[in-house]
Amino acid sequence: MLREFSFYDVPPAHVPPVSEPLEIACYSLSRDRELLLDDSKLSYYYPPPLFSDLNTGFPNRFHPPKSDPDPISIVKDVLMTKGIQMNSSFLTWRGLITKIMCAPLDPRNHWETYLVMDPTSGIIMMEERTRSETSYANQDRMCYWGYKFEAISTLPEIWDACSRDQIEQRDNQDVVPDEQYCSIVKINIGKSKLILAGEVDCIWDKKPCSAKESDVHSDDGTIEEDASNAENPNLHYVELKTSKKYPLENYGMRKKLLKYWAQSFLLGIGRIIIGFRDDNGILIEMKELFTHQIPKMLRPYFKPNDWTPNRLLVVLEHALEWIKQTVKQHPPSTEFTLSYTGGSKLVLRQII
């Protein structure tokens, strides 16, 4: 079985209704990949010194991330342990929905994901099994620049609880990408209900007090839409990025900002902080952006045929509905691959 979905076959339409992403659970991973059912690895933002050298510590103090992606069963286990029912159409990683949403921006990109419908809950679970990003020159060092920027921009506790030595010695610590804090959110996009999990780089100030997770679902275990008036922590979260700086007239810069927006939008992250660096990895400028302002900031620079945030959301809504309807035509536990090999089409194949 093979089915294709073409971006350009999606008719113009109003932007689908999208609910605010609401955190329903969180977890941490230690540097040894031990699963911790808490927010102990949540880092706190503290501005790094300008003109920091993002090469410092490479490769001696760099602990590269493990080669294989995490299975989505980690998130399923967290939700089950916390007693949160998976009342949703999809359970997957934020990064994979970002890939589907932003695929039209990358006609030369290649990736593949795996899908299966859980026979008990009926939810479609989606994951990567191997890394599928396109490689490029100097990749290891440039990836390190991003990890290093995160390391020198964060503290293990809010700044006034940290010692002067902790603040001033950030440049000398090991860079360990496998140590992570992850947020699990529910979000509705059109008719599709999603539970997404994604890494959070840090928090702007302090995670607000929220109701206990036992308060966000009803007696029968289903998540309540308005179970608590507690403040949603996601708006306090920060996404950290590094990039060369180009004017917004540059298509590559607009495309990069669109991806930053999509990634943060799907998890409900409130701020994006970009560390602009030169060709040698020296941090030369910092820029703070509110996620919701990026579409408005880019609007004057879009060309008639550009992919805009609204167009990407319309295509994403249709793609999710297409995946749902196609998978539901087959028995539960049937496995599929969803692939993108450039051009303008997603391909869904049944694994025999």
Positions at the binding site: 33, 93-95, 150, 182, 199, 201, 239-241, 263
Alpha-carbon distance 338 to 323, whole Å? 9
What is the Cα gyration radius of the chain? 20
The residues with which 319 forms a beta bridge, in sequence order, are none
What is the number of other CB atoms lying within 10 angstroms of the CB of residue 1? 12
Checking DSSP bridges between strand 192-199 and strand 90-93, what pairing results, if any?
A: parallel
Name the residue among 65, 67, 48, 120 with its Cα closest to residue 273.
48
* C-alpha–C-alpha distance, residues 63 and 58, integer Å: 10
Binding site, annotated residues for substrate: 33, 93-95, 182, 199, 241, 263
* Binding site listing for a divalent metal cation: 150, 201, 239-240
Q: Please, what's the b/e burial string for 174-204 (b: 16 or more CB within 10 A of its CB; e: otherwise)?
A: ebbbebbbbbbbbbbbbebbbbbbbbbbbbb
